Structures are given as structure tokens and as C-alpha cells.
A and B are shown apart, each in its own frame.
Chain A
Amino acid sequence: MTALSLNNLDISYGETPITHGVSLDIAEGESFALVGESGSGKSTILKAIAGLAPEWTGSITAFGKSRSHGIDRHFARLCQMVFQDPYGSLHPRKTIDATLSEPLTIHGIGSQNERVEAVMASVGLDRKFRFRFPHQLSGGQRQRVAIARALMLEPKILLLDEPTSALDVSVQAEILNLLKRLRREQNLTFLMVTHNLPVVSFLCDRLAVMRQGRIVEIADVADLKQGALREAYSRELMEISATHAA
């Protein structure tokens, strides 16, 4: 079944058009990556899907239902987002417990205590962190909290906006392993934005290469691993990524 489908999506910020005719179909349980250089509009697509960039034409469909332009509560339970910067995505004056229970309060879900403990366990956060403030945690722990928060409402789709780029290399690996395990355990669908191609080959099944607001190519990750991307621009991006990694 198609989890998420974008059809001819044109997003703009005010007068400035950002993307042009973006169409994608992501199957349930699939992990899909959007790659491209800065300013190619990949993060904007995530924002539009989440509801943070409400000026778009075209259609966004999740599990067969069209999405409205703003943020709505039903969509919130279906699809959540993990942000890039674990230092900026947690409220500095709220304990981890408060951050994690708030979505449950908003949606009137009971047995908060058990749910918070269960989610913390599933993202590998020790119970002792529960009543700490974000500044008492490391970057990796914060990102685990951010992932836990996104999972509180048991969404089917997770939007990941460069979830590891602000972290140390060793911590990056931990978070990537965590995401991989969570996806397997909870049958999540991932749509991930990154410009790190090794991350794509580790975590994703397919990828779309973007350039200046357009999708240049959609390919299987196997093609990426074999260096068999069709478009010249995609191969150029791969080479740049390889030189940076080396």
C-alpha cells in the first residue's frame, strides 16, 4: 500500500517558488531518502508534508487521505517529524517527561506513565533521564528524546530531517542503528532528508536526487551502491560525497 504520495507538488515561500512539480510514491514500510545539495528544496518538502510550509499546490496524500494545508490533529497521529538539531528541538525549560507526555495530553491518551516509560525504553534511554532537563543530556541522548517524542503518538510515517548531521560520528552510528531497529520493530515508513550518501545506503531502500526544486532521478539504493545512477548530476553528487568522506 502507498504510505505517502506527493503529486505535482509546487511549494513556495511567499512569492518565491521552492519546488516544481515534485511527484513521489512511498510504499508502506519503505525507507526513502531525498538527497541533494543545500537549497535544492528537500527540507521544504518535509516541511510541507508536516504542515510547516502551508503554501503549496498539488496534492499530498497519506494512506489514501489528502492532506490539508495547515497542521491537523488527525494527520499528527499518522505522521511525525524528527528535526536536525537536537539542541534546538527540545524545549529548554521542560523535563524529558513533560516533553514526552505532552503529545499524549493533547490527544487525550491515557496511561501516560507507562507509555512514556515504554517509549524511553524502546529508544534506549535510561529511566534516570526521565526528569532531567535537556541541558543535562548529551547531543545523542537529546536526539533519542526527539525520536521518542515523535513516536509517542505511534505514527506510521516518520519524517527525518538530517537526523544525524549535528552529531559526532560515533553517536551518528548509534542513532542510525536505533532508527533502523525502530523501523523494523514498528513497521515505520521513513522519508529522510540528508546529503550524506553513506547514510542513505545504510538506512534507505530508494532515493530521489533533487536539484533546484526538481527531482532529477529516483533510483534504488542498489544502484547507488554500484555507482549505477543514470543522471550525470547524480553521479557528480556521488563523487563529491565520496571525496568529502575520504
Chain B
Amino acid sequence: MTTTVRAWLIDDSPSSRLQARLGRAWRITGALSRNPLAVVGAAIILVLILTAIFAPFIATHGPLKQDLTQRLLAPGAANWMGTDELGRDIWSRVVYGARITLVIVAMVAILAAPAGLIIGAVAGYFGGWTDRILMGITDVFLSMPKLILALALVAALGPGIENAIIAIAITSWPGYARIARAETLTFKNSEFIAAIRLQGASAMRVILGHVLPLCTSSMIVRVTLDMAGIILTAAGLGFIGLGAQPPLPEWGAMIARGRSFILDQWWVATMPGFAIIIVSLGFCFLGDGLRDVLDPKSGEQH
């Protein structure tokens, strides 16, 4: 059974579109699984996702349950990562924090990547004034440091996780627009684009059907690599108190609260810090692996 499925996937002459597409996905997955760092990264991300989904089963305590008699306990059998100043179990809070982190990362990717992709592709494809205006706007956003711009936006919109997501999305699309534009320029004058234009295709069809598919692989790589930065920015906003609001178990906010006890009760700030580092690393590893596999220059083989 497995051998027939495999043979069907790697068939040299696929008999349907679906088979051709699945075959390509299979070859990319295969190449990815031969890259040890990418596998480690993917495993970390998978653990993060599973943790977020099954948080109620993995957590030993309620993430918001306070017990002032149990405050600031060192890690031990009952509280695997110790407790914080309100007696909440840090392990459970870190586990539930995975949900918040995942939501932030996913929402930013969903909001910022397509926006940047389309703006960049439109600017690159049409050129001229369209390009100048769109890239001018992009440069305005790029000229400000990400965290400072996000801070200003959150300060204006009001603190909170939704506003943090919006602020991070607004600060991260210009980078994607730049990449999409550069990619578009490299093959805008190629013959396969000329050929589809000669068939009478509208500009929208050319951009959506022919330009964007070629930008996506570098975009996926870039977004994956940026995930680490997004997590850090979200944590930074949480740390300053402009991101997730108490009592939400957001990792950055947890570090901020543990700062006061960092010398005597080091685990309060350190445990969520580990979580941030590991997840950021996971995204970096996966992004690097994806870049090796999806790089447009070696992409021909897949």
C-alpha cells in the first residue's frame, strides 16, 4: 500500500493536476526531511501547535488560578517550573501562553504577508508612477524602527493583544512588499509573462496567476524567519505593558512581572524566557531549512 502511494506520488508522468501537485509537495517534504535543522525547527513548531491545542490537558493547574499560600515556590514536583508572586503555576501559564503566541504569529502572517505580497507585485508589475507611489509609502514605513512604530501604534490604539497584532502587522508588511517587488522585477520581462499577456490575459490574471506563485516561496521563507522577530516584538510589547494585559499568560508580560524577583526567584522570569527562545529558534531553523529547499535558484529541481 505505502509503496503504491509512493510510486503514485513520484510518478514521472502524472495523470492529473492533483497528482502533479501532490508529487511536488512530496518532493519538497522529502528534501526538507533530509535537512536536520529544518526537522528540529519543524518539530519545535509542531510541539508548539500541539501544546496550544491541548493546553487544558498538558497544564497541571489553571493558568489564572491564584494561591497566595503557594507564592514564589521554586520548581519542584508539584509546580514543575515553580510559581509566581500570586502563586500561579508557571508551567501552566507557559503552556497556555503558547496559544497567545501562536495566535499573534498566525494573525500577523495572515494580515501582513498577503498585503505585502500584493502591494509589492502590483508595484513591480506596473512600474512607473504606481511603483513610485506604492514604494514611497513602503519606504515611509520602513524608515521607522519596527518596535518604536509598533509602540506608537499601540499607544494610540490602546494596549491589548488585538491592537498589538494590528500594530505588528502594520510594521511588518513593508519588508514583504520590498521582496515581492524585487522578485516581480526579476521575471516581469521574461518570455513566459509576455506569452500569457499575448494570450489576452488581464493584468489581474497575470499578477495573481503567474507573478504571485513565483514570489510565494521566497515569501514563505521570509515570513518563517520573521516569525521569531514577531514573537520577540510581541513579547517586547507585553514586557512594556502594551501587549497582552494581565492576567493573560503572555510570555513577555510574564518576564516583566518576574523582573522584580530575578535575583532571588530566578525561575519566574527565566521559564517564559526559555519558551520565547526555543520557539524563536524553531522558526529560524525551519525558515533556514525552507530557504535551502525553496530557494528559487535551486527550485528548478522540485
Judging by beta carbons under 8 Å apart, are B15 and A131 in contact?
yes
B 164-176 to A, binary, CB cutoff 8 A, 1 in contact else 0: 0000000000000
Measured CA separation A71–B20 after assembly (Å) = 32
By a CB distance below 8 angstroms, the chain B residues around A92 are: 192, 214, 299-300
Cβ of A128 under 8 Å from chain B:
yes
Chain B: minimal CB distance from A144 (Å) = 14
By a CB distance below 8 angstroms, the chain B residues around A95 are: 14, 17, 20
A 125-139 to B, binary, CB cutoff 8 A, 1 in contact else 0: 000111111011000
Query: What total count of A-B pairs have CB within 8 Å?
Result: 88
Query: Pick the contact of B13 from A52, A85, A128, A152 — CB < 8 Å?
Result: A128
Query: Pick the contact of B198 from A51, A97, A133 — CB < 8 Å?
Result: A51
Which residues in window 92-131 of A have CB below 8 A to B? 92-95, 97-98, 102-103, 106-107, 128-131
Q: DSSP majority for the B interface?
A: helix
Measured CA separation A50–B190 after assembly (Å) = 15
**Contacts known (A85-B191, A129-B13); A107 close to B200, Cβ less than 8 A:** yes
Judging by beta carbons under 8 Å apart, are A131 and B198 in contact?
no
Measured CA separation A91–B300 after assembly (Å) = 11
Measured CA separation A152–B12 after assembly (Å) = 25
Cβ of B3 under 8 Å from chain A:
no
Judging by beta carbons under 8 Å apart, are B198 and A91 in contact?
no
Measured CA separation A91–B209 after assembly (Å) = 10
Judging by beta carbons under 8 Å apart, are A81 and B198 in contact?
yes
Cβ of B199 under 8 Å from chain A:
yes
**Contacts known (A71-B198, A93-B213, A93-B214); A88 close to B13, Cβ less than 8 A:** no
Which residues in window 26-62 of A have CB below 8 A to B? 50-52
Q: Which of A2-10, A72-80, A185-193 is the contact stretch?
A: A72-80
Chain A: minimal CB distance from B107 (Å) = 28
Measured CA separation A106–B200 after assembly (Å) = 7
Cβ of B69 under 8 Å from chain A:
no
Measured CA separation A156–B111 after assembly (Å) = 47
Chain A: minimal CB distance from B150 (Å) = 35
Q: Give chain A's interface residue range (CB within 8 Å of chain B).
A: 35 or more
Judging by beta carbons under 8 Å apart, are B19 and A146 in contact?
no
Judging by beta carbons under 8 Å apart, are B301 and A71 in contact?
no
By a CB distance below 8 angstroms, the chain B residues around A106 are: 199-201, 205
Judging by beta carbons under 8 Å apart, are A131 and B16 in contact?
yes
Cβ of A90 under 8 Å from chain B:
yes
Cβ of A153 under 8 Å from chain B:
yes
**Contacts known (A95-B17, A132-B14); A102 close to B201, Cβ less than 8 A:** yes
**Contacts known (A131-B14, A132-B20, A133-B24); A89 close to B191, Cβ less than 8 A:** yes
Seen from chain B, the residues whose Cβ lies within 8 Å of a Cβ on chain A are 12-17, 19-20, 24, 190-192, 194-201, 205, 209-210, 213-214, 299-301
Extra 17 A-B pairs, beta carbons < 8 Å, given A102-B199, A106-B205: A81-B194, A88-B191, A88-B192, A89-B192, A89-B195, A91-B210, A95-B17, A103-B199, A107-B199, A107-B200, A128-B13, A129-B13, A131-B16, A131-B17, A131-B19, A131-B20, A149-B199
